[in-house]
Amino acid sequence: MVLESDRLFIRELTINDLSGLHKLQSNPNVMKYITGRPKTSDETKKELENILHNYEVKNINFLVLAVCKIENDEFIGTCAVIKNEKKEYEIGYRLIEEHWGKGYGSELIKLIISYCFDERNLDYLVACVESGNVNSIKILEQFGFQCINELEDEGTIASERYYRLDNQRHYDV
C-alpha cells in the first residue's frame, strides 16, 4: 500500500528503515509527548520487528507506516492507525525533528483521514494528544477533530486530550 500527497508518500516499513526509525525514536524532543523518553536502539529494533510481523500476518488493526518525501524518498517519520483497547481506531504520527514546522503534519493527517474514511470506510477516528503538544492539537482541530475528554495523567502534571472525528458520510441522510 502506498498513499501519496503533493510532497509525501506513505508505505510499509522495511528493515532498511531501522536507522531512520531509530533517529526518530532516539530524539528526546520527538518522544517527549509519546513515551517521555527516547528509545534505545534495541527497543527500536524490537518495535520494527513487531511492525514487520504485523504486516506478515495481515493485521490491519495495527498499522504503522513509513512517511517519506516524494522528492528524494527520504524517511521522515511514521504514522499509525491502531485499534486501541476501546476497540476504536486511533491515529498518530511522528516526524523527525528537522522536518517540523514545514506543513508535513497537516499533509499527513489529511492522507490518514482520507485512507481511513475512503478506503477503510471507518465510522470515526480518535487521537490522544498530551495537552502540551500544541502543534499536534492545532493540526487535529484544523481537520475538525473535536476534543471530547481531557484526562489528567496519573503520576505527572500533564493531561491528555482525547479527540474524535466522525466520518460524516455515515451520518448524511
Could you report the per-residue pLDDT of 2-24, keeping only the tens digit for each? Answer: 899 999 999 999 999 999 999 99
Quick check: is 72 in a domain?
yes
Query: What pLDDT does 169 receive?
Result: 62
Query: What pLDDT does 153 receive?
Result: 63
Residue 65 near residue 55 (C-beta atoms within 8 A): no
Quick check: is 172 in a domain?
no
Exposed/middle/buried for residue 131 (C-beta within 10 Å: 0-12, 13-18, 19+): middle
Q: Report the share of the chain in percent with pLDDT over 90.
A: 84
Query: Number of structural domains, the chain?
Result: 1
pLDDT at position 121 over 50: yes
User: Which stretches of the chain are DSSP H helices?
Assistant: 18-25, 28-31, 41-56, 104-114, 134-142
Query: What pLDDT does 1 receive?
Result: 59
Domain holding 76, by residue range, is: 3-121
Quick check: is 148 in a domain?
no
Distance CA 128, CA 173 (A): 30
Residue 143: name the closest of 125, 156, 130, 169 by CA.
Answer: 125
Quick check: is 173 in a domain?
no
Highest-confidence segment of 110-119, 148-157, 160-169:
110-119
Q: What is the CATH number of the domain that holds 13?
A: 3.40.630.30
Quick check: is 100 in a domain?
yes
Quick check: is 155 in a domain?
no
Residue 134 near residue 170 (C-beta atoms within 8 A): no
Region 104-125: mean pLDDT is 96
* Model confidence pLDDT, tens digit, residues 91-105: 999 999 999 999 999
Average pLDDT, the chain: 92
Quick check: is 77 in a domain?
yes
* Model confidence pLDDT, tens digit, residues 30-46: 998 888 899 999 999 99
